[in-house]
Structure 1
Amino acid sequence: MGAAPYGPGATARYPAPGRPVHGAPYGYAYPPFARPGYAPVVPAPQPVVDFSTGVHRLHWATMPLRVLVVVGVFLAVAGVTLLDFGLPFVALLTMAVTGVAVLGAFGGWWGLRFRVFNDALVLERGVLRRHAQQVPLSRLQAVDIVRPPLMYLLDLSELRLQLAGGDDSEIRFRYLNRKAAEQLRASLLASAAGLSGRTPAAPERDYYQMPFGLLIGAMALRVPVLAAFALLIALGVAGIWVGEPGVLGGMLPLLLGLIRGFLSPLLLYMTFRAAISPDGLRLRYGLVRSRMQTVPPGRVQAVRIVEPLLWRAMGVARVEANVAGYVGDRQMESSVLLPVAPRWLALSLVNQLFPGTEVSQVRLHRAARPSGAVDAAGIDDTVFVTRRGVFCHTTEVIAHARAQLVRLSVGPWQRLRGTATVYVDSPPGPVQVRASGRDPVEARGIVNAVVTRAGRARRETVGPERWATRIRG
C-alpha cells in the first residue's frame, strides 16, 4: 500500500454547496452560518440592555450573596470553636466579620465596571487603584451561561467567556440578571462576528433534543456500568449468603462508581437540547445546574465520534470536540457536543461544523499493519479522518485549516514492525487525531498531503474572527 490514495491525484467525495444530504435535519450540508449568501435575520424584539453604550455593573444581588458566603464560611469554620468564649462574643465577632464583608462586597461590586467598545470588552476593576483591561473580542472562543440552583430561583445567571490564551483566560460575570446575561452574550457574539453590538440575539433552529429513554438506555448499556452493577449484585448476594457484613464494604466503591458513571451523566444531560444559529452551536443541558453553551463558528478544532461496543447495536454514538479556549477541567466538561445521538445525526453535525465535507463519504484506507480490528484513515480537501478501535470504534476528524502541527513518529517497536504513526495536532482536548500502523512511505505521503491542504485552507480562510463580515454571495 503506497501513498497514492493521499497524493495530488486523489479525489475527494463530498457534496457541492447546497447539495441535499440524506438524513440531515435541514436537508443541506452547510449550516445556516456557513451557507454562501446567508444574511443574518434580525428579530423584532429590541435589546433589554444596550451594552454597546455606557458603563455597566453586575447585579446588585451580588453583594448580599458574597456577604452570605463569607459569613457562612466563618461560622462553619470558627463558629463552633469560638462558642467556648460565650455566645455574646461570637455574636459581636460575627457582626464585625459581616461589616467587613459588606464593605468588601460593596467595593468589589462598585469597582467592577464593563462595557463593549470598538469590538473589545473593556473591564475596569478597583476603587482606590483602578485597573483597566481591554479584551479584543476576536479572541472570544465560547460563551457559556451557567445557572446554579440558587441562581435559578433568584433569576440570576453567571456569564463565562472563554478566550484564547490558556488556563487564565476565562472571564466570569457573577452575577447578572437572566435577560441581561442573554443580551450581553448576544452583544459579545455579534461584536466578535463583526456586527453591531446592538444586534439582538440571533434566531435559532432546533437541531436535536435527546429522548430521556435513549439517554437511560445508552448510559446503562456500557460495559463498565454493566460490570460494576453485576459485581455489586454479586457482592450483596455473597454477603447475605455467608452472613459476613465485611463483604458489604466492597460495595461502597462500586456504588460510588455507579453514581459517577451512570447517575451523574443522567442528571447532567437529562434536559439536553442542541440548536444551530447564525452565531454558532448552542447547547442547553443540566438538571441541577442549568447551562447554555454557545460555540461560535470555526471554534471547533477537532471532533471525535465514539461508538462503544453495545451502542453500535443501537446505532447511536457520542460526539466530542476540542473547542479552543477550554482547558483543564473546563475542557473535559465542555467537550461533549452530543452525549447520545443516532449515528447519522452525529455525522451530520460534523458536516455542519466543517462545511464542505461529508464525513461518511470520505474514502478510508486500512493500515498496512493494523493494531486493532479497525485502523483506517482518509483525506479530502476539507478534513483528515481516522478510524480505529477493537471494541470501541472511534472516528476522529480535523479540518485542515485547524491543523497546528503534523508529525510523523517511528518508535522502537514500530521500527521492528516497519510501521509509522502520523499525528495531526490541534489545541488541547480529548481528541488526538492519529493514523497508526502505516507503511513509512504511505505515512510520508499522508504528511505531505495534509500539509499541502492545510496551507491551502489557511490561505483561503483567514480564521473565524469577524466571520459575519466575510460571507460572500
Structure 2
Amino acid sequence: MHPLTPLLKGGLVLVIALGYLIANLRERMLYWAISLFTPTRVPELGGDPVDWIVNNNLVLVVLLGVVGVVVVLIGLFWLMWRFHDFRITEAHVEVRKGVIFRSHRRAPLDRVQGVNLTRPFPARLIGLAKLEVDGAGNDANVPLEYLSTAKAESVRADILRLASGARHAREATRGSADPAAARTLRAQLADSMDVGVTGLIAGVDLDDVAPEHVLRIPTGRLVGSHVLSGLVWLVFVAAIFAVGMAVVVPTLLSDGRPGAGFAVLGIGLVMGVPLLFAAVAVTWGRIARALRYSIAPTPDGVRITFGLFTTVTETIPPGRIFAVEVSQHLLWRPFGWWTVRINRMSGKTAARQQSSQGQQFNIVLPVGARADVERVLALILPDTPPEAVPLIWEQGVLGPHAGDPYATIPARAGWRRPLSWRRHGIALTDFALFLRRGRIWRQLVVFPLARLQGFSLHQGPLDRAQRVAKARAHSATGPVRGDVSGIDSAILLGMLNTLSVSAARAAAADRAHRWAEEREAPPSASPAGHALPRDLGGSLGSRPVAAESGSAPGAL
C-alpha cells in the first residue's frame, strides 16, 4: 500500500486527538512527565508550564520527549504499513493486515460484482485512492486502501481483466517492474499530490474513454431535479404546520389568551426552522454526491463517476445487473426527466446498503431525458433483442397502448388501483420479465431472465373470489421492487410455467459474466450456439420444452 495509508486510515484522527489533549491538558501532562524524571522539581499547578520550562533549563528534555513520541508514532505507522499488503492471483484478490490481530480476506475473481475506486477529499489532495472489490455476499467486499491513483487504476484494470476470463490477461504486465518502486518516497508523494490537485480541477478517471462516448448530466438539471424531489416533502411539512397553526392559534386568541397563542406560534417556528435546515442539508448532500456525474462504456463494463468532494468511480462488469427500473417523479413530468436504478449484488452490509451513500451505487442515471435513458439502457442491457425494445419504452414507460402485450388488472378488480389499473401490468418474453406500474409516479422494471432468481405467486381469500393473484419477481437485494397485484390468476399461472423453461434456457446461454472469453472466442462459439443441457431439460417434466417457450409475448 501507499506509505501514507496508516495516516489516512486513523493516524490523522490520532494526531488530532493528541493535539487536542496537549492543547487542553498540557499542564497536567507536563507536570506528570516531570514527576517521573525529576520528582523534586515538580512545580505547583497554576503557572504557565512553558515559562517554567524555560526558567529551569528543561527545554532540551521536553524536546527529547516530543521527539520520542513522534518516533513512537512513526514506528507504529511503519508497522501498520509493513503488515498491510495484498496480492492478485489468477483466481483471487487477497488482503492481509494487522500486527497483533491479523486479518486475511479473499475475494474470488469469478464472483467479482464490480470494482469501486473511491477518492475521499483528504486522499484526493495527495493523489491517493481507495479500491474496493465488490463480492457476492454480506460484508464480502475486499478494500485496498490506499494506493496512488495511477496504481489504483492499474490494479482495477488488472482485476477486471482477470475476472473477465481473458486467457492472456496478464501477459502485458507480467515481467514489467513497477516504476514507482525505483523512485524515492519524496518523488512518489510529489507526483501523487500533483495528480490529486489536477484531479480536483479537471476531473478524473475518464482519460481512457473516448470523449464522444461519455454521457454527462448538466449541472442545472441535476440540481433542479433534487430540489424538485425535496420540494414535495417540504410542501407536505409546511402544509401540516400551516394547518396546525391555523387551528390552534385562533382558538387560543379567541379565549382571551394572546400570550399562549404567540407562545404556540413561537414553538412551531422553533421546531420548523431546524426541519427546514435539515431538509436543505439533506438536499445539498444528495446534490454534492451526484455532481460531476458521468457514465461511459469501457471494455470491462459500464463506468460511473460521481461526487464533488469525495469522488467515486464504479465499474460494473457485464452480467452483474439483476434488475433495471426506469421511473419518473411527478414534478419531473413537465421536463421529461427520468431516473434509472438497478439491483446488483453487493458485499456491503445491510445497514450500509440502506444508507444514502449505499443507495447511490444503485443509481446509474440520476436524471436524464429520453435520449439519455435510451443510451444508458443500451449500456446496461446490451443483449436486448430488437423485438423487446418496444416493450421497454413505447409500450412500457409511455404505455399503455391499445393492443400492447402487457397483462393488466381486469375491470372486476379495478378498485384495487383506481388510478392505475389500466396501466399496472406484466409481460414476459424470452429475454426478460417486464413490470409496468403507476400513473402518477411512473415505473417500468426489467428483470433479465438469465439472472432472475425466482418467481412466486400469492393469492388470498379475496383474490380467489375475484380470480386474481399477486406476483413477485425475486432478484438481488436493491431498490428495485418486483411485485405486481390484481393480475388474472390464469395468466400468472401460465407465465409461471413458461418462466421455468425460459429462465433455464436464458441462464444456460448467458456468457456475459465471462465477457473477455466471448471477445476471444471464434464466431462458432457464440452464446447463440449453446443448447439447453439435456439433464436440465429432463428435470422440467415430460412436457416438450419448445411447447412452453415458443409463445409470443402477446399470446399469454
Q: How many residue pairs get matched? A: 411
For residues 233-288 of structure 1, give each alpha carbon's deviation from its aligned partner in whole angstroms, at most 9, with x where no partner exists. 969x999x969543321223432442255222211112111111111111111112
Partner of 1:109: 81
**Mean CA deviation greater in 120-129 or 179-188:** 120-129
Question: Counterpart amino acid of 1:353?
Answer: I
Could you tell me how far 1:133 is from its partner in structure 2? 5.0
Q: Distance in 1 between matches of 2:16 and 2:91?
A: 40
Q: Distance in 1 between matches of 2:456 and 2:18?
A: 53
Partner of 2:232: 224
Partner of 2:445: 396
Does 2:168 match 1:175? no
Does 2:210 match 1:212? no
Cα distance change of structure 1 residues 266 and 320 upon mapping to structure 2, 3 Å threshold: same
Identity %: 26
Could you tell me how far 1:322 is from its partner in structure 2? 0.8
Question: Counterpart amino acid of 2:11?
Answer: V
For residues 278-317 of structure 1, give each alpha carbon's deviation from its aligned partner in whole angstroms, at most 9, with x where no partner exists. 1111111111211111111111111111111121221111
Does 2:16 match 1:72? yes
Is the contact between residue 105 and residue 142 of structure 2 (CA under 8 Å) also seen in structure 1? Answer: no
Identify which of 352, 368, 376 aligns with 1:341: 368
Cα distance change of structure 1 residues 407 and 151 upon mapping to structure 2, 3 Å threshold: same
Question: Counterpart amino acid of 2:28?
Answer: F
Larger Rg: 2
Q: CA RMSD in A?
A: 3.3
Partner of 1:42: none
Aligned positions of 1:258-407 closer than 5 A: 258-327=279-348, 328=350, 329-330=352-353, 331-354=358-381, 355-357=383-385, 358=389, 359-360=392-393, 363-368=405-410, 369-370=413-414, 371-372=416-417, 373=420, 374-407=423-456
**Mean CA deviation greater in 247-256 or 438-447:** 247-256
Could you tell me how far 1:88 is from its partner in structure 2? 4.9
Is the contact between residue 308 and residue 392 of structure 1 (CA under 8 Å) also seen in structure 2? Answer: yes
For residues 30-55 of structure 1, give each alpha carbon's deviation from its aligned partner in whole angstroms, at most 9, with x where no partner exists. xxxxxxxxxxxxxxxxxxxxxxxxxx
Partner of 2:159: 188
Secondary structure of the structure 1 residue equivalent to 2:308: coil
Identify which of 115, 127, 133 aligns with 1:161: 133
Is the contact between residue 210 and residue 271 of structure 1 (CA under 8 Å) also seen in structure 2? Answer: yes
Secondary structure of the structure 2 residue equivalent to 1:215: helix
Partner of 1:25: none
Partner of 1:423: 472
Cα distance change of structure 1 residues 439 and 213 upon mapping to structure 2, 3 Å threshold: same
Could you tell me how far 1:129 is from its partner in structure 2? 8.6
Q: Distance in 1 between matches of 2:280 and 2:110?
A: 40
**Mean CA deviation greater in 254-263 or 197-206:** 197-206
Q: Distance in 2 between matches of 1:260 and 1:347?
A: 32
- Which runs of 5 or more structure 1 residues have no equivalent in the other structure? 1-57
Secondary structure of the structure 2 residue equivalent to 1:284: strand
Cα distance change of structure 1 residues 386 and 103 upon mapping to structure 2, 3 Å threshold: same
For residues 166-217 of structure 1, give each alpha carbon's deviation from its aligned partner in whole angstroms, at most 9, with x where no partner exists. 2x21111221111111111111111111231356896456342101111122
For residues 325-353 of structure 1, give each alpha carbon's deviation from its aligned partner in whole angstroms, at most 9, with x where no partner exists. 25432442311110001134324422432
Secondary structure of the structure 2 residue equivalent to 1:470: helix
Please, what TM-score do these two structures have when normalized by structure 1? 0.77
Aligned positions of 1:15-54 closer than 5 A: none
Secondary structure of the structure 1 residue equivalent to 2:225: helix
Cα distance change of structure 1 residues 172 and 93 upon mapping to structure 2, 3 Å threshold: farther
Cα distance change of structure 1 residues 436 and 176 upon mapping to structure 2, 3 Å threshold: same
Q: Distance in 1 between matches of 2:71 and 2:4?
A: 17
Is the contact between residue 130 and residue 144 of structure 2 (CA under 8 Å) also seen in structure 1? Answer: yes
Which structure's relative contact order is higher, taking Cα pairs within 8 Å and 6+ residues apart?
1
Cα distance change of structure 1 residues 199 and 259 upon mapping to structure 2, 3 Å threshold: farther
Secondary structure of the structure 1 residue equivalent to 2:113: strand
Could you tell me how far 1:451 is from its partner in structure 2? 2.3
Q: Distance in 1 between matches of 2:347 and 2:106?
A: 20
Could you tell me how far 1:102 is from its partner in structure 2? 3.6
Partner of 1:447: 496
Is the contact between residue 418 and residue 439 of structure 1 (CA under 8 Å) also seen in structure 2? Answer: yes
Does 2:502 match 1:456? no
Question: Counterpart amino acid of 2:280?
Answer: I
Cα distance change of structure 1 residues 156 and 343 upon mapping to structure 2, 3 Å threshold: same
Secondary structure of the structure 1 residue equivalent to 2:232: helix
Partner of 1:467: 515
Please, what TM-score do these two structures have when normalized by structure 2? 0.66
Is the contact between residue 268 and residue 287 of structure 1 (CA under 8 Å) also seen in structure 2? Answer: yes
Cα distance change of structure 1 residues 409 and 256 upon mapping to structure 2, 3 Å threshold: farther
Could you tell me how far 1:86 is from its partner in structure 2? 4.5
Partner of 1:7: none
Q: Distance in 2 between matches of 1:344 and 1:300?
A: 21
Is the contact between residue 187 and residue 198 of structure 1 (CA under 8 Å) also seen in structure 2? Answer: no
Cα distance change of structure 1 residues 88 and 232 upon mapping to structure 2, 3 Å threshold: farther
